[in-house]
Structure 1
Amino acid sequence: MKKPIKKQKAVLIILLSNIFIAFLGIGLIIPVMPSFMNIMHLSGSTMGYLVAVFAVAQLLMSPFAGRWVDRYGRKKIIIFGLFLFGVSELIFGVGTNVSVLYISRILGGISAAFIMPGVTAYIADITSVQERAKAMGYISAAISTGFIIGPGIGGFIAEYGVRLPFFFAAAIAFLACFSSIFILKEPLTKEQLAEISAKTKQTNFISDFKRSLNPHYFIAFIIVFVLAFGLSAYETVFSLFSDHKFGFTPKDLAAIITISSIFGVVVQVFMFGKMVDILGEKKMIQLCLIIGAILSVASTVVSNFLGVLLVTCLIFLAFDLLRPALTTFLSKAGGKEQGFVAGMNSAYTSLGNIVGPAMGGILFDVNIHYPYLFAAVILLIGLGITVMWKEKQLAESFAE
């Protein structure tokens, strides 16, 4: 019998803190990147490649990390991921040439591939099916909160040195790693891990992707890709679009993103679980895709600050609710293979994060409205795919 979430506060807090710290570390460096770019004399394309290589490393490592979560245990993978994240931030902070920065970003992508499935699988193990949606909502809220707070803290710390945010990120990662060693306990026994590991074949990137094509998971994984693709395409051009069309200042953009993110976090924490209970995962996912598509089109016709703020708040909320709804569905469908499912979830997210920004940037050069219209089309395609979900298939997935 699994304990209620209320009786596992300490474990849940440390797990959510690990996710929060990872994304706080990523957010910390956002405001200092332009200054860092000037100090290192880096081109815009190089900065773009440094962003892309993180996602590529996460994509390639995710299937392996997912299997290792099932084979070696959740706790070990989480701790290793946090340690690697701290090392990557430290290397970036002391880096004086581009090759060192690439190594740092590759290590960062690998660490993200370890942390995400490790924490997701751990929480799936210790929560009941009834409380799973609430727990996954907490994970999404921790991610969003890290992104909200990160840039603000990074900007403040950078006043004392442009490299200091990287060292701060490394310090909190090592602190989280150290505390996890003593607070977390492996949720599965050696026998349970051995049983799960025995049922899976030798880890292979291609074979894992083939397994993810199983109808049992595939439609949900495609929606994961569509979400990451559409959201990253939208977010990549948001600041450029707002600057070109409205002449918004960085302060205006920061206000819009911060208010939208806080609104999304509040709804995730206090309302997401109840909404899933009422609608169910499938209807929740479909509703978010419809709202996201409509608001992507609306983004091309709004003409003032309040209009942009309202549309952005609602579209970010739709994306913020869609992510944990998908994660909840996958965790229920995954049965005992939580590591594999969480790893592939991370892999498909990374794939969308690689392709989405590239397409968004290309379309922006053609017409500033095209990325938003393109995102709307992608989300509608995702909606069409969810129609293929059969209730019987969902029931079989949940029964596992």
Structure 2
Amino acid sequence: MGADTEVDAESDAGSESIPWRSSALYVILSSSLMGVMGVSLISPVLPELRAAFELSDAQVGLVITVYTLPGVFLTPFIGLLADRIGRRRVIIPLLFIFGIGGAGIAFASSFTEVLALRFLQGIGASALVTLAVTLIGDFYDGAQRNAVMGFNGSMLGTGAALYPLVGGALGGIRWSVPFLFFGIGIFVGIVAAVALEEPEADPPSSVGVYLGRLRDVAVLPEAIAIFSAIFVVFFVFYGAVQTALPLLMSDEFDLSSSQIGLILAMVSVASATVSSLYGRISQWRTAPELVALGFVAYGTSLLGVWLAPSPVFVGVSLLAFGVGFGIVMPSIDTTVVTLVSSELRAGMMGMRTSMLRLGQTLGPVAFTFIADAGFETSSGGYRVLLVVSGVIVLLSGVGGYLLLRR
């Protein structure tokens, strides 16, 4: 742990204040912001991308799928590597790969090149949020950890709120311009190389012992429940909100990319606001109860989107989704980092992110394929999928909360 971080940890021990003088904090926040940029920045541009390369809805959904796919398989191994050789040696190269791969898409001349570079960018993005949250667990403890976790979630929400606006505005110039924005990852990598110090960690055990301990934790009922919840959250979020909804709004309301970006930003506005209060909210209910309540908010939001007669009502309904996101993600991350010691923390977070990426990968493909293949029009299919997923998620949240309260 760096000297500045030690001073801050000692001066702020037992408090809920944010350690503003800790250089690690800014690298953590910046890495998290890179991690959520990859989809929310370009979601509003999907209709323009569809037109530029004359794609079907299922094909344009691959722009998200090939980005999230590497994380499904790589993140657990990246977590293991970070636990073995150190966080710093892993996160810095990932930031450079993310920035180079993403910015390169702006110069692609075919859809095949777009997909190849998105896959490369996805490799870089695969564990950025994972390692950022792991570093929070490494550098901070107790109430301060909850405060930083909530603040990190708030920053994620703020960034995700701004990215659709930025992406929509840049997409109005040309479909390729938003991808240049990904080059900021290179700058963050340079800052991390200068400012981030390696946190203290327990001496690594043998690989066999490490994997055995990780397996023992992963099969605990609490871990299985958390992994299942995070898969569902991101399957629905990326399938319904980030992929199907932009295409639906473009077809039914004839909205531009900037208008779509403004509506999608409602999720992140609400999420950022709620996450910033997580330190207080976490004292009101247990983390599993908060996850269940978040599911109630998700289901309510999706049903509201299904019923919405205009884009304004869609945006209002998405606020509820953001509220759910703002309490679910910090609750899940806090649970994961407290389940294990520092030696296993990155590996456990890697498994968490692998499930997250699996949901991100399958959601867009499932929603666009079912809507294209199973219904007369894709718009009609999206509407049916919104109500079905909304009902399932809502009932899951209500049932889970009642069981937990008993």
- TM-score bucket (shorter structure): 0.7 to 0.9
Distance 1:131 1:68, change over 3 A: same
- Residue of structure 1 aligned with 2:186, choices 174, 190, 193: 174
- Residue of structure 2 aligned with 1:285, choices 281, 291, 301: 291
Counterpart of 2:364 in structure 1 is 357
Which secondary structure does the structure 1 equivalent of 2:317 belong to?
helix
Residue 124 (structure 1) aligned with residue 137 (structure 2) = yes
Instruction: Give me the identity figure in percent.
Output: 20
Residue 370 (structure 1) aligned with residue 380 (structure 2) = no
Which secondary structure does the structure 1 equivalent of 2:36 belong to?
helix
Root mean square deviation, CA, Å: 3.2
Structure 2 Cα separation of the partners of residues 179 and 257 of structure 1: 30
Counterpart of 1:395 in structure 2 is none
Which moved further from structure 2: 114-123 or 42-51? Answer: 42-51
Check conservation: 1:61, 1:113, Cα contact below 8 A: yes
Residue 296 (structure 1) aligned with residue 302 (structure 2) = yes
List per-residue Cα deviations over 1:229-265 (Å, max 9, x = no partner).
22223313223444566x2623553333234422321
Check conservation: 1:24, 1:147, Cα contact below 8 A: yes
Counterpart of 2:396 in structure 1 is 381
Per-residue deviation, 1:194? 2.1
Distance 1:103 1:307, change over 3 A: closer
Check conservation: 1:225, 1:352, Cα contact below 8 A: yes
Counterpart of 1:72 in structure 2 is 85
Distance 1:97 1:211, change over 3 A: farther
Structure 1 Cα separation of the partners of residues 86 and 392 of structure 2: 36
Structure 1 Cα separation of the partners of residues 392 and 160 of structure 2: 25
Structure 2 Cα separation of the partners of residues 48 and 16 of structure 1: 28
Counterpart of 1:201 in structure 2 is 211
Residue 224 (structure 1) aligned with residue 230 (structure 2) = yes
Matched to 1:313, the amino acid is: L
Which moved further from structure 2: 141-150 or 325-334? Answer: 141-150
Check conservation: 1:136, 1:324, Cα contact below 8 A: yes
Matched to 1:185, the amino acid is: E
Gaps of 5+ in 2: 1-5, 13-17, 376-380
Distance 1:107 1:194, change over 3 A: same
Counterpart of 2:333 in structure 1 is 327
- Residue of structure 2 aligned with 1:110, choices 116, 123, 133: 123
Check conservation: 1:82, 1:176, Cα contact below 8 A: yes
Check conservation: 1:233, 1:371, Cα contact below 8 A: no
Distance 1:373 1:165, change over 3 A: closer
Check conservation: 2:44, 2:246, Cα contact below 8 A: no
Per-residue deviation, 1:294? 3.2
Counterpart of 2:261 in structure 1 is 254
Structure 2 Cα separation of the partners of residues 68 and 62 of structure 1: 10
Residue 238 (structure 1) aligned with residue 245 (structure 2) = yes
Structure 2 Cα separation of the partners of residues 311 and 261 of structure 1: 12
Residue 340 (structure 1) aligned with residue 340 (structure 2) = no
Structure 2 Cα separation of the partners of residues 267 and 81 of structure 1: 29
Which secondary structure does the structure 2 equivalent of 1:64 belong to?
helix
- Residue of structure 2 aligned with 1:50, choices 63, 69, 82: 63
Matched to 2:33, the amino acid is: F
Distance 1:100 1:143, change over 3 A: same
Which moved further from structure 2: 36-45 or 129-138? Answer: 36-45
Per-residue deviation, 1:176? 0.6
Per-residue deviation, 1:180? 0.4
- Residue of structure 2 aligned with 1:212, choices 212, 218, 223: 218
Residue 59 (structure 1) aligned with residue 72 (structure 2) = yes
Which secondary structure does the structure 2 equivalent of 1:300 belong to?
helix
Which moved further from structure 2: 103-112 or 193-202? Answer: 193-202
Matched to 2:280, the amino acid is: K
Per-residue deviation, 1:226? 1.5
Distance 1:298 1:93, change over 3 A: closer
Gaps of 5+ in 1: 392-400
List per-residue Cα deviations over 1:98-145 (Å, max 9, x = no partner).
443333122222112231221111111111132333222223233333
Distance 1:68 1:6, change over 3 A: same
Matched to 1:381, the amino acid is: S
Per-residue deviation, 1:208? 7.3
Structure 2 Cα separation of the partners of residues 210 and 101 of structure 1: 40
- Residue of structure 1 aligned with 2:281, choices 252, 275, 281: 275
Counterpart of 2:378 in structure 1 is none
Per-residue deviation, 1:32? 4.9
Per-residue deviation, 1:281? 0.9
Structure 2 Cα separation of the partners of residues 38 and 242 of structure 1: 15
Matched to 2:118, the amino acid is: R
Structure 2 Cα separation of the partners of residues 266 and 24 of structure 1: 18
Matched to 2:269, the amino acid is: I
Structure 1 Cα separation of the partners of residues 113 and 138 of structure 2: 38
Check conservation: 2:58, 2:365, Cα contact below 8 A: no
Residue 264 (structure 1) aligned with residue 278 (structure 2) = no
Number of equivalenced pairs: 382
Per-residue deviation, 1:94? 2.9
Structure 2 Cα separation of the partners of residues 140 and 95 of structure 1: 33
Structure 1 Cα separation of the partners of residues 76 and 293 of structure 2: 30
